[in-house]
């Protein structure tokens, strides 16, 4: 029997990335593509954080609709969500040919889907600002639907296009978040501090659903990834022992 490689990715975003690469007519060249990267965490091997990967029990789920090359980008944070939230699905976005598996997921009576997007872009009747809490010990009794957060993972212009041109999402309630802070994401530039990366949005959703620990774990894991990604980009030879890692270690030491 072959030993299991702890750095071998196996979650939904990794599978979507593999399928996208297999279907590509020419190689995808990302920024920093000359850098050797761990297949599990996408960091330089010297900064690998696969040994830190958590799996945080939560009744909430995440459905990622991803732009054409989003899963191929080393800085993509949908990957971070899939590392942390066990029930994470990832699908390539299509206007006219949505994945049947995604449609089945959205119609599954065990889940209550919420399309997460600013309410100003939706009809007022669709907009909600709260999520029903589900006790972590409750799987899915007949009278309870688990929250499923549908996130549009791409650039802001791509996300707006997905929102406008996905008729199969029109029947979903639109969850409009009202964060009390600005984005801390540092791997991509944005002119607006109120534009959050996908993993930050997921953490806000988990918090709104009453899943504070899962939200904290996801936020801390994202911070460690960001810190190590930037450290490797600056050619620092070892991963930083910084505040992000200490926060992560403190969270892991706390009882679940």
pLDDT digits (tens, 9 = 90+) for 45-98: 999 999 898 878 999 999 999 998 899 999 899 999 999 999 999 999 999 999
At residue 180, the pLDDT reads 56
Which tokens sit at 248? 């992560």
CA distances from 148 to 87, 107, 109 (A): 9, 11, 11
More confident residue, 180 or 87: 87
Q: Which residues is 114 bridged to in the sheet?
A: 149
Please report the pLDDT score of residue 252 as a whole number.
85
Residue 10 CA to residue 87 CA, distance in Å, equals 13
Kindly provide the residue ranges of all beta strands, DSSP E only, lying in 121-250, ordered along the sequence. 127-128, 146-153, 174-175
CA atoms of 39 and 123, how far apart (whole Å): 42
* CA end-to-end distance (rounded Å), the chain: 34
> Of 167, 168, 163, whose CA–CA distance to 119 is shortest?
163
Top-ranked range on mean pLDDT: pick from 53-57, 167-171, 174-178: 167-171
**For the chain, domain boundaries:** 50-253
List the one residue out of 117, 148, 9, 12 whose CA is nearest residue 70. 12
Once rounded to an integer, what is the mean pLDDT over residues 11-17? 92
Listed residue (58, 81, 53) closest to 212, CA to CA: 58
The mean pLDDT value of the chain amounts to 84
């Amino acid at each position: 029997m072959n030993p299991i490689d702890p750095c071998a990715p196996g979650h939904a975003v990794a599978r979507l990335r593999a399928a996208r690469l297999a279907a590509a007519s020419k190689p995808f060249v990302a920024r920093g593509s000359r850098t050797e990267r761990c297949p599990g965490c996408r960091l330089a091997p010297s900064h690998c954080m696969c040994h830190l990967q958590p799996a945080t029990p939560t009744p909430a789920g995440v459905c990622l609709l991803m732009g054409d090359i989003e899963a191929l980008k080393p800085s993509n944070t949908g990957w971070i969500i899939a590392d942390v939230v066990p029930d994470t699905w990832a699908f390539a976005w299509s206007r006219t040919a949505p994945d049947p598996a995604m449609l089945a997921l959205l119609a599954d009576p065990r889940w209550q889907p919420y399309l997460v997007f600013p309410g100003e872009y939706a009809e007022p009747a669709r907009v909600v600002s709260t999520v029903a809490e589900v006790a972590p010990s409750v799987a899915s009794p007949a009278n309870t639907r688990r929250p499923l957060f549908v996130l549009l993972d791409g650039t802001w212009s791509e996300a707006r296009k997905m929102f406008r041109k996905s008729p199969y999402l029109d029947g979903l309630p639109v969850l409009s978040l009202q964060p009390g802070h600005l984005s801390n994401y540092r791997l991509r530039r944005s002119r607006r501090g109120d534009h959050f990366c996908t993993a930050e949005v997921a953490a806000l959703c988990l918090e709104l659903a009453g899943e504070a620990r899962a939200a904290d774990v996801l936020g801390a894991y994202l911070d460690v990834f960001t810190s190590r990604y930037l450290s490797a980009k600056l050619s620092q030879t070892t991963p930083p022992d910084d505040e992000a890692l200490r926060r992560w270690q403190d969270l892991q030491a706390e009882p679940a």
